[in-house]
Structure 1
Amino acid sequence: MRAASGGLLEGLGIPEAEQNTYLRVLACPHCTAAGLAAELGITPDRAERLLAALTQRGLVTRHDGVPARWSAAAPDVAVEALLLRREEELLRTRGRVSELMRAYRRSQQPQAADLVEVVTGQAAIAERWRQMQDGARRHLLLFDKPPHISRTDTELERSLLGRGVRIRAVYEAGSVSAPGRLAEIRDVVAAGEEARMLPELPCKLAMVDDRWAMLPVATGSELRAAVLLRASSLLDALAGMFEAYWHRAVRVPDVIGPARGAGDRKGELLTLLSAGFTDDSIARQLGVSPRTVQRWVREVMDALGARTRFQAGIQAARAGLL
């Protein structure tokens, strides 16, 4: 009669025939190969081979004699030893997963490695960005937000614009309000850059033609690593995201400062309001006091019939005042 193992030792990788044999030896201490063969319906030679395999696993013990007899080892000791051995093998295999993945990427997906590159270190990122700009042919698309790793290279941008490269940049309000930043932006705008602003941007981003894009690996106060993407559907998606934010943004004022008249500065006030500037930031940009800005904001809101600053910016845009 054949014993049923129920898969009790299947998790240890023990074949079903060995499991049946072990269970039979458990039920019949000091059994012989011939007796076991009769119980399991197999030949004595087959029973000998199964018992030898179980002995090697430490699950049964052979007792010399004529005929030789076998008894089962205590399961709590023998099976536990097999479990520990199996766990060690699994841990070793898990440790090799990263090695296997490297081989997989090299042999199975060589094209993926060509599409994505990680650039580490601020100097390397700055150099790669310069190389990307040098290779620009048609357009440059930028999401500008902190952190910055270098000052704007106005001469390089002028050379790009001079050879017909269209540059469009969306600046985050926090970037524009940084000391000296607006003067840099005005320089490149005067040279031909198209600049707009928004209160917040999803990430830093630089795109060149339909060939390359670079963005940070992770957000943070320091730019330590960047991802360089080449032509792909992901690059197309990033271009679509840029266009969506570009159409929502408001223009950067051509000139801001106390030299302008109060009427002109109120127009600039609307632009800065729409971009999410605070009263203190607006006051610094326009060269007036925060109290003056607050008074102008109330006057603009009253004139437009707006109940909030944001609403005033939206209504000003609809009225063509921006």
Structure 2
Amino acid sequence: MVPSGSRGAQGGWLEGLGIPEHEQTAYLRVLAAPHRTAAELAAELGTTAERAERLLAALTEQGLVNRHDGEGARWSAAAPDVAVEALLLRREEELLRTRGRVAELMRAYRRAHRPHADDLVEVVTGQAAIAERWRQLQDGARRSLAMFDKPPHIVRSDPALEHALLDRGVRVRAVYEAGSVSAPGRLAEIREIVEAGEEARMLPELPCKLAIVDDRWAMLPVASGAELHGAVLVRASSLLDALSGMFEAYWQRAVRVPQARADRAEPDRRTELLTLLSAGFTDDSIARQLGVSPRTVQRWVREVMDALGARTRFQAGIQAARAGLL
């Protein structure tokens, strides 16, 4: 018995796997009655033995039927749960490869419809290539450099590069995310570069890593994540203008990293404590930065809040800003 759906308009069981309907019909005939000869199949299909041979050869190549050589060649269908599953996996792999080429097709499409798009945006892949492009951007800066410093970092910051920028009169502004400053000693490193001329501020969280050079270029990650494998280089455009506007908005909200007082080598404790609190540091993080215990930090926080007449840490930050302490 041939399974229902094997003839004419009822066919199409395997068309999604790229099997033509006439091959499906032949397969279903062999499936229903194994050990068929080409002549028997030709008689059932109303075609020639040569055409039946070609159909069986095509089905054999697909792994749907097996040939039994002996006294006259005969064919039997392979078990569908194995044979069809193998075809499904093969088709899925082909579809995935095709999906992977969509980006390539889109690049060709954009080149045809927007010939200058490639001049505005460039994708840099690989950590070594990203680090080298970042070094080139710093070397090429002439007026300004604005940065969001946010993990992950693919290379350790190079103070010598930034000192060179500052020495040739480049204005450097950086907003540091709390997680980028929490490592022991990192705040001291930032304070050193601030003493050299960098303008530095902090926030609990930033939307992305970002660098804007001379209002001519911007570089930011292709995607957020624990590792940085791709970056987008944006040239002068409305997109660059939007990124510059975003930086300015976060810069205005950020808390200034305090500089040392003229009569002391370090900022006073209250200013530093308020800065770290306003930037979203926890008591444990503040304790690590200042080299004291969390209990001591909690006591200092209470003293500062009492002095400012604040009920919460947030209120303490507002009061400190109003008093010009930050």
Give the TM-score normalised by the residue count of structure 1.
0.68
- Distance in 2 (CA, whole Å) between partners of 1:139 and 1:173 is 23
Could you tell me which residue of structure 1 aligns to residue 274 of structure 2?
Answer: 270
- Distance in 1 (CA, whole Å) between partners of 2:322 and 2:18 is 69
Could you tell me which residue of structure 1 aligns to residue 133 of structure 2?
Answer: 128
1:279 maps to 2:283: yes
Q: 3-state DSSP class of the match of 1:110?
A: coil
Residues paired across the two proteins, number: 245
Contact 2:216/2:235, CA 8 A, preserved across alignment: yes
Could you tell me which residue of structure 1 aligns to residue 8 of structure 2?
Answer: 78
1:151 maps to 2:156: yes
Could you tell me which residue of structure 1 aligns to residue 221 of structure 2?
Answer: 216
- Distance in 1 (CA, whole Å) between partners of 2:16 and 2:208 is 47
- Distance in 2 (CA, whole Å) between partners of 1:125 and 1:77 is 59
Could you tell me which residue of structure 1 aligns to residue 111 of structure 2?
Answer: 106
1:249 maps to 2:288: no
User: Which residue identity is paired with 2:116?
Assistant: Q
Could you tell me which residue of structure 2 aligns to residue 300 of structure 1?
Answer: 304
Q: 3-state DSSP class of the match of 2:145?
A: strand
C-alpha deviation, 1:317, in angstroms:
0.7
Contact 1:154/1:187, CA 8 A, preserved across alignment: no
1:192 maps to 2:197: yes
Task: List runs of 5+ in structure 1 lacking aligned partners.
Answer: 1-74
Could you tell me which residue of structure 2 aligns to residue 35 of structure 1?
Answer: none
Give deviations 1:61-107, integer Å, cap 9, x for gaps.
xxxxxxxxxxxxxx983334589769959x99995983653432232
Contact 1:152/1:184, CA 8 A, preserved across alignment: no
Alignment of 1:40-55 (within 5 A): none
Larger Rg over CA atoms: 1
1:309 maps to 2:239: no
- Distance in 2 (CA, whole Å) between partners of 1:255 and 1:288 is 19
User: Which residue identity is paired with 1:123?
Assistant: A
Q: 3-state DSSP class of the match of 1:247?
A: helix
User: Which residue identity is paired with 2:170?
Assistant: V
- Distance in 2 (CA, whole Å) between partners of 1:117 and 1:313 is 41
Could you tell me which residue of structure 2 aligns to residue 207 of structure 1?
Answer: 212
Contact 1:126/1:149, CA 8 A, preserved across alignment: yes
Identity %: 76
- Distance in 1 (CA, whole Å) between partners of 2:235 and 2:292 is 46
Q: 3-state DSSP class of the match of 1:105?
A: helix
Alignment of 1:4-83 (within 5 A): 77-81=7-11
Contact 2:260/2:268, CA 8 A, preserved across alignment: no
Give the TM-score normalised by the residue count of structure 2.
0.68
Could you tell me which residue of structure 2 aligns to residue 290 of structure 1?
Answer: 294
Q: 3-state DSSP class of the match of 1:147?
A: coil
- Distance in 1 (CA, whole Å) between partners of 2:110 and 2:275 is 49
1:234 is aligned, of 230, 233, 239, to 239
Contact 1:198/1:250, CA 8 A, preserved across alignment: yes
Note closer, same or farther for the CA distance 1:82–1:149 as it changes in structure 2 (3 Å cut). closer
Q: 3-state DSSP class of the match of 2:232?
A: strand
Aligned alpha-carbon RMSD (Å) = 2.8
C-alpha deviation, 1:166, in angstroms:
0.3
User: Which residue identity is paired with 1:128?
Assistant: R
Could you tell me which residue of structure 2 aligns to residue 180 of structure 1?
Answer: 185
C-alpha deviation, 1:233, in angstroms:
0.7
- Distance in 1 (CA, whole Å) between partners of 2:129 and 2:14 is 48
User: Which residue identity is paired with 1:286?
Assistant: L
Q: 3-state DSSP class of the match of 2:259?
A: coil
Contact 2:184/2:288, CA 8 A, preserved across alignment: no
Contact 1:140/1:168, CA 8 A, preserved across alignment: yes
- Distance in 1 (CA, whole Å) between partners of 2:107 and 2:256 is 47
C-alpha deviation, 1:183, in angstroms:
2.6
Task: List runs of 5+ in structure 2 lacking aligned partners.
Answer: 20-90
Contact 2:111/2:117, CA 8 A, preserved across alignment: no
Could you tell me which residue of structure 2 aligns to residue 166 of structure 1?
Answer: 171
Give deviations 1:200-247, integer Å, cap 9, x for gaps.
111111110111111111112211111111111111111001001101
